[in-house]
Amino acid sequence: MVIETIGHASLVVKNDQNKAVLLTDPWLIGSVYWRSWWLQNYPSEAQLAELSDVKYCYVTHEHPDHFHTASIRKLGKNPTYISPLLPQDNISTFLAEQGNKTKSLKPFNWYKLEENLSILSIPLLNDDSCLVIDTPKAVIINLNDAKPAKSQLKHLQEFIAKNMAGKKIVVLSSYSPASIVNSFRKNSEYVSIKDKSKYIDYLNGIVDVLNADYFIPFASQVIFYRPDSAWANEYKVSYDDINKGWKAKKTKLLPPYSKLDLTTFETSFIKPENYNHDPQWIKEKVEKHMQAEANVNVTDEDLKKIAKKMRSQRAFLSVLFPKGIGFITNKREFTFKPWSGKIVEGLTKNHGFAIRVPDQALKDAIEFGHFGDLGITMFTILILNRSTNPKLIYVFFILLTLHDYKHTMSLGNFFKWTKSSAKNYKWKFPKIGKEVSFVTA
């Protein structure tokens, strides 16, 4: 058996007949976040053709760099798309509506995909999930963007030591910022919230807790090409950064785009000079997109939708930002006033903070219910005033993201989410070979 990382957060598991059985988080073509993010290395046409025959495709969560609908259309209808059973089963529901075969996996249940391949899905309260993959000689732990508590990872390690002794442990995790951590500005100057070294320290910590044999850097292979997000390339954590700061006790660090034989544990990888990446083609795509964006305006009707979205968290926003939240688009400035629940033209004096975002992105985020995605784009800039604590802006995005996922749209949804989160917080694993369900097409 072999595993290989491709694209961004796509892990391919092949059986001993060299047939792809499992693929995760397909972002394999094109870009995400309004032409902001592009892959460092694109799969070849031969790889894409091979993946169209994959039996199962697991989607960890809804972010488009993991749940990329254009890539799913490219894969076609052959795979069975599987996902964690979250309080709001949005992934399977959407894919089923498009005519795909789907299955939602119950938390902490082993599902057998083939004779020597089983998986276990672990949902987290942030609507993400981890995937544990059991093979005859190795256990693969795909953490993608999830950030479980170390106590949870320790529990997983204890389970593996007791029930899977002798198997190699392979860990995959994202390693570079994909949030607003580097997006703060004060008096037009960059404000540092979290140093690169903290991400590397985190990786060293999780592989030590899991007693991992191998670590593959994962879910962070992007280049930012929009003129208003290219600044973020300077703040990415690179493989070289990880290599320099690697202090793990026993874990071997592999490069991105690695292939690992799960029998001999021989490794290979694609060298950066051999990446499949065409900067000129990408720049032309970005330029065309930016030209189209230049003709877009936030309308008065859009302002009503934005006000309605903000009012969903009005009780909290009135306390956090009583002076208001400013918005700066390419062509318009306005402020949401939490106490009145209304939007006024212009930036009011002493507003809590301002969000600078392109018109098209703001319109789409409100229209399609993914406001929280604006915090990931790298072109969204958060402009601080004299006193606002950046941590409060994190709270702002968390509140709006909970509403995006429908958790705070009603009391019923809220209790369903809190009950699920509480139930799944303490990780409980069934014994290997017991209560194993089969995923069927």
For the stretch 54-106, pLDDT in tens is 999 999 999 999 999 999 999 999 999 999 999 999 999 999 999 999 999 99
Provide mean pLDDT across the span 5-11: 97
Q: What is the pLDDT of residue 44?
A: 94
Query: What distances in angstroms separate CA 189 from CA 167, 185, 312, 381, 397, one per listed residue?
Result: 50, 5, 32, 11, 22
Cα gap 105→26, rounded to integer Å: 18
Buried (b) or exposed (e) across 309-348, using 16+ Cβ within 10 A? bbebbbeebeebbebbbbbebbebebbbbbeeeebeeebb
pLDDT at 318 over 70: yes
Report whether 351 contacts 325 (CB < 8 A): yes
Q: What is the pLDDT of residue 191?
A: 83
List the one residue out of 338, 373, 379, 433 whose CA is nearest residue 111.
Answer: 433
pLDDT at 440 over 80: no
Torsion angle of the four alpha carbons 231, 233, 235, 239, in this order, in degrees rounded to the nearest 10: 180
Provide mean pLDDT across the span 164-190: 91
Instruction: Dig out the tokens for 161 from the structure.
Output: 């030591």
0.85 exceeded by the pTM?
yes
Provide mean pLDDT across the span 307-335: 95
Please, which pLDDT band fits residue 352 given cuts at 50, 70 and 90? very high
Please, which pLDDT band fits residue 441 given cuts at 50, 70 and 90? very low
Q: What is the pLDDT of residue 432?
A: 73
> How high does pLDDT run on average in the chain?
94
pLDDT at 4 over 60: yes
pLDDT at 439 over 60: no
Provide mean pLDDT across the span 326-345: 96
pLDDT at 162 over 80: yes
Among the ranges given (17-31, 186-200, 277-291), the one the predictor scored with the smallest mean pLDDT: 186-200
Provide mean pLDDT across the span 298-317: 96
Report whether 293 contacts 283 (CB < 8 A): no
Q: What is the pLDDT of residue 437?
A: 64
pLDDT (tens digit, 9 = 90+) per residue, 190-236? 887 888 899 999 999 999 999 999 999 999 999 999 999 999 999 99
pLDDT at 108 over 90: yes
Provide mean pLDDT across the span 163-168: 94
Task: Tell me the Cα Rg of the chain.
Answer: 22
- Which residue segments constitute the domains of the chain, with CATH numbers given? 2-284 (3.60.15.10), 300-420 (3.30.1050.10)
pLDDT at 127 over 90: yes
Provide mean pLDDT across the span 142-167: 94
Cα gap 26→6, rounded to integer Å: 9
pLDDT at 262 over 70: yes
Provide mean pLDDT across the span 163-182: 93
**Residue scoring higher pLDDT (286 or 436):** 286
